[in-house]
Structure formats: C-alpha cells, structure tokens
C-alpha cells in the first residue's frame, strides 16, 4: 500500500512537470508570435475570437493530463526548476521558429499568385485561419513531446482520455477551418499542408527534447562526479590488520 502511494505520487509529480513545460513553452510561442508579427510585419496573426476559441480548445487536453500514463521514476524525485524552465524555454524558442516561419511563408504566398494557387491561400483572413490551425495543432501536439523523455511514438503511450481529447479538439479545429465556423474558411488542401508542416516539426521538437535531456543529465552526472572527487578523503586507505 505504501509502495503504491509512492508510485502514484511520483506519477503525479511527472504529470505536473509535463504540464509546466507545456504551458510555459506554449505561452512563449503565442506571446512572441503575436508581438513579433505586429512589430516587424505589421499584421495581426489572430483575431480576438480565435484567441478565445484556441484557449477553450486547449483546456480539454490539459485537464486530461491528470489521467496520462506516466512512468514511475525509480529514484526519489524533487523539483528541478532550472531544468524545467530551461527545457520549456528551449521548446518555446523552437515553437516560435515554427509559428513565425509559417507566418513569414504565408506572407510570401500572399505576394505570389502562383504560390496562392498552389497552397490555396489568397487573403489575410485566410492567413489568420492558417495560423489559428497551426497554433492549435502544434500547441496541443506539444503535449506528446513534454509527457515523456523518449520519442513521442515510444512507450509509455498516451492514456485514452488524453489521446481522445487531443484527437477530438484537432478534428474540431480542422472542421472549423474547413467549413468557416467562427473563423474564415480555408481550403482542405491548405489544411493538409499545415498538418504536414506540424508533423515535420514534431520530429524536430522531439529531437530538441531528447538532446536537452541528455545534456542536462550529463551535466548532472558530471556535477555528482566532481562533488564526489572534491569530497574524497585525502588520507590513504589503511587496510585492517
């Protein structure tokens, strides 16, 4: 019974870490993309209703984190806030690159009639819908990156409530964009291009997560090794008679 309680406490601890990393990274993404696009491009990437709907769509997957399949750490756990903030900031920086890169590409498409026909993007309103879809899709799929230190397609797999919530909200966002519900409609071809873009970036973000964790673990191991060396006794060991 005591062992079960300890295991569950460590699972909860892992879920909290996952949520903190996800929340910080996504907030950095949305905040900087809106600010940078307004300052440097003079365009608004989202409307007010898009921001409200995006917040509502993000709430359901976040609530289901509490039911996720989280691995049990075999060692005692403790808060490592610098590591959490470092990982969240790193993922946030790459999310900003993902979102702002798509925005810059969208602006380029609007200035080229040939690209407009290729990607199905012709107006600034459609550009906003494209960004809405990318921020909802890329933001929620970030949960698959933050929930585990392994690749997102490896075990432990997401729990059914989390997987169902993400799939449901992604389908809702796609239908909203395809049929023009609360947002300007865009073509299904453009929706497909956006999803291909998001899927590519999932592997990039997964690589960033793995590299960061390995680097942080190496630094921790090196620190422990250095501490043990410093604390090592200088007196020679005398064997017992």
Mean pLDDT of 44-72: 87
Pick the CATH number of 2-71+78-224 from 1.20.1110.10, 3.40.920.10, 1.20.1250.20, 2.40.170.20: 1.20.1110.10
pLDDT of 241 above 70: no
Largest CA distance in the chain: 91
List pLDDT tens digits, range 185-226: 999 999 999 999 999 999 999 999 999 988 887 655 555 555
List pLDDT tens digits, range 149-197: 888 888 888 889 999 999 999 999 999 999 999 999 999 999 999 999 9
Annotated domain spans of the chain: 2-71+78-224
Enter the tokens of residue 234: 């200088």
List pLDDT tens digits, range 69-121: 887 776 777 777 788 899 999 999 999 999 999 999 999 999 999 999 999 99
Global pTM reads: 0.84
Compute the distance between CA of residue 83 and CA of residue 138 in angstroms, rounded to an integer.
23
Distances, alpha carbon 151 to alpha carbons 119, 147, 197, in Å: 31, 10, 18
Q: What separation, in Å, do the N-terminal and C-terminal C-alpha atoms of the chain show? A: 47
Which of the two residues, 96 and 237, has the higher pLDDT score? 96
Q: Helix 2-36 crosses helix 48-63 at what angle (to 10 degrees)?
A: 170
Q: What is the 8-class DSSP label of residue 180?
A: T
Residue 236: burial class (beta carbons within 10 Å; 0-12, 13-18, 19+): exposed
pLDDT of 237 above 70: no
Question: Do residues 150 and 70 touch, judged by C-beta distance below 8 A?
Answer: no
pLDDT value of position 240 = 52
Contacts of 115 (CB under 8 A, 6+ apart): 108, 109, 121
Q: Residue 126 in 3-state DSSP?
A: helix
Q: What is the 8-class DSSP label of residue 8?
A: H
């Amino acid at each position: 019974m005591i062992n079960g309680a300890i295991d569950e406490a460590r699972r909860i601890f892992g879920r909290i870490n996952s949520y903190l990393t996800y929340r910080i990274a996504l907030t950095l993404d949305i905040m900087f993309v809106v600010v940078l696009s307004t300052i440097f491009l003079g365009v608004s990437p989202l409307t007010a209703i898009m921001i409200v709907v995006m917040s509502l769509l993000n709430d359901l997957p976040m609530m289901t984190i509490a039911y996720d399949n989280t691995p049990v750490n075999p060692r005692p756990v403790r808060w490592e806030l610098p590591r959490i903030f470092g990982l969240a900031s790193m993922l946030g920086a790459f999310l900003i690159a993902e979102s702002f890169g798509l925005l810059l590409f969208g602006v380029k498409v609007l200035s080229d009639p040939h690209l407009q026909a290729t990607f199905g993007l012709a107006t600034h309103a459609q550009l906003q819908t494209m960004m809405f879809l990318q921020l909802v899709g890329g933001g929620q799929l970030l949960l698959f990156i933050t929930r585990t230190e392994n690749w997102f397609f490896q075990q432990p797999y997401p729990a059914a409530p989390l997987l169902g919530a993400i799939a449901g909200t992604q389908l809702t966002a796609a239908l909203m964009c395809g049929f023009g519900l609360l947002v300007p409609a865009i073509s299904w071809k453009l929706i497909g291009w956006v999803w291909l873009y998001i899927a590519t970036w999932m592997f990039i973000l997964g690589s960033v997560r793995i590299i960061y964790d390995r680097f942080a673990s190496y630094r921790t191991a090196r620190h422990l090794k250095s501490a043990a060396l410093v604390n090592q006794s200088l007196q020679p060991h005398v064997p017992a008679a």
